[in-house]
C-alpha cells in the first residue's frame, strides 16, 4: 500500500540503525525481514512513538555538549530568556547583550554567540531552564531529517539509539502480530481507545501529555 508522503528511511543512516538494532535484538527467531521493514518504515512515526522518543532522549542524553558547542545558532523565546536572566540573577538587557541575541520575525530571539554562552566548557549552566529548542533535540532534528528537510543529526550520539528503540518495538509488534494476532488486536484496540480519550486536546497538548506519561513510566522502571 502506498501511503501519501511516505518516504522510506534508507541509505547509510538506515543501514547503521538496522545493524545496531540487530545487535541489540539478539533473538534467533526474529525474522530479518521484520527488522528491515521496521527500519525502513521509520520514515513515518506515530504520535505515541514520537512521544516515547522525547521521553527517552531525556533519559539517555549523555550530556556530551555537542549540540551546545556546534556552530548552529539557538532559537529562544523572550519569556525563556527572561527566566534565564532571573535564574542568573542578571537583567534581561544584559543577558541579551552578552548572548548576542537578536529578535526574529516570529517574535522569538536568535542567540548567535557560539559556542552557546550558557555552556561553561563542561556543562549547561542553565540546564533546568534550557530553552525548548534544547529540550527537544535531537528528536526535533530527527523528525525533520526523516521528512527530508535537513540532514541526519549525526553529531548527536543518541540519534541512532532513539530510532533503534522504535525499530525494535515495531519488529517485536510485527512478530507478536504473526504469533498471537488476538493479543495484538486487543492491545491495538486498547491503544486506540486511550488515544480517543485525548481527542479534546490539540496535537501539541497530546504530545506533551503522552511524553509526560512515558517519562513517568521510565522514571518508575
Ligand atoms: S548532542 Fe545529543 S547526547 Fe550530546 S548533549 Fe546534545 S542531545 Fe545530549
Ligand atoms: S542552553 Fe544549555 S543545553 Fe542549550 S545549547 Fe546552551 S548549553 Fe546547551
Q: State whether the beta carbon of 65 lies less than 6 angstroms from ligand 1.
A: yes
* pLDDT tens-place string over residues 151-185: 999 999 999 999 999 999 999 999 899 899 999 99
pLDDT at 40: 95
What is the CA(63)–ligand 1 centre distance, in A? 5
What proportion of the chain, given as a percentage, has pLDDT over 90? 70
pLDDT at 193 over 60: yes
* pLDDT tens-place string over residues 87-105: 999 999 999 999 999 999 9
Q: Quick one: 35 exposed, middle or buried, by C-beta within 10 A (0-12, 13-18, 19+)?
A: buried
Reported as a pLDDT band with limits 50, 70 and 90, residue 32 is confident
- Hey, whose CA ends up nearest to atom 5 of ligand 1? 63
pLDDT at 209: 94
Distance of CA 109 to the CA centre of its chain: 22
Reported as a pLDDT band with limits 50, 70 and 90, residue 113 is confident
pLDDT at 18 over 80: yes
Instruction: Read off φ and ψ for residue 101, nearest 5 degrees.
Output: -85, 135
What is the CA(119)–ligand 2 centre distance, in A? 6
pLDDT at 30: 76
What is the CA(85)–ligand 2 centre distance, in A? 14
Closest-lying ligand 2 atom to the alpha carbon of residue 74: 5
- Hey, whose CA ends up nearest to atom 8 of ligand 1? 61
pLDDT at 6: 73
pLDDT at 158: 97
**Best residue for ligand 2 mutational test, from 76, 119, 122, 123 (most atoms within 8 Å of Cβ):** 119
Reported as a pLDDT band with limits 50, 70 and 90, residue 2 is very low
DSSP label at 15? H
For the chain, give every domain's residue range.
Answer: 12-61+158-213, 67-135
pLDDT at 56: 96
Torsion, Cα 187 188 193 194, to 10 degrees, reads 70
Q: In this structure, which ligand is nearest to the CA of 154?
A: 1
CA distance linking residue 142 with residue 153, whole number of Å? 6
Question: For ligand 2, which residues put their CB under 6 angstroms from it?
Answer: 67-68, 74, 116, 118-119, 124, 126, 130, 134
Amino acid at each position: 500500500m502506498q501511503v501519501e508522503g511516505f518516504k522510506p528511511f534508507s541509505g547509510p543512516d538506515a543501514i547503521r540503525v538496522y545493524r545496531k538494532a540487530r545487535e541489540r535484538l539478539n533473538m534467533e527467531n526474529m525474522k530479518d525481514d521484520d527488522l528491515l521493514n521496521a527500519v525502513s518504515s521509520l520514515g513515518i512515526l506515530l504520535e505515541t512513538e514520537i512521544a516515547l522518543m522525547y521521553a527517552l532522549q531525556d533519559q539517555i542524553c549523555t550530556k556530551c555538549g555537542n549540540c551546545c558547542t556546534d556552530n548552529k545558532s539557538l532559537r529562544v523565546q523572550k519569556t525563556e530568556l527572561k527566566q534565564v536572566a532571573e535564574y542568573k540573577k542578571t537583567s534581561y538587557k544584559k543577558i541579551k547583550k552578552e548572548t548576542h541575541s537578536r529578535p526574529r520575525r516570529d517574535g522569538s530571539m536568535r542567540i548567535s554567540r557560539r559556542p552557546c554562552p550558557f555552556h561553561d566548557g563542561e556543562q549547561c549552566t542553565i540546564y533546568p531552564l534550557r530553552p525548548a529548542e534544547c529540550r527537544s533535540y535531537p528528536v526535533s532534528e530527527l523528525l525533520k531529517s526523516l521528512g527530508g528537510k535537513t540532514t541526519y543529526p549525526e553529531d548527536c550520539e543518541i540519534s541512532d539509539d532513539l530510532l533503534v528503540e522504535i525499530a525494535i518495538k515495531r519488529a517485536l509488534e510485527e512478530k507478536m502480530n504473526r504469533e498471537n494476532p488476538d493479543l495484538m488486536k486487543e492491545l491495538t484496540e486498547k491503544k486506540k481507545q486511550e488515544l480517543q480519550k485525548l481527542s479534546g486536546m490539540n496535537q501539541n497538548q497530546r504530545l506533551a501529555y503522552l511524553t509526560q506519561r512515558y517519562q513517568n513510566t521510565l522514571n518508575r522502571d
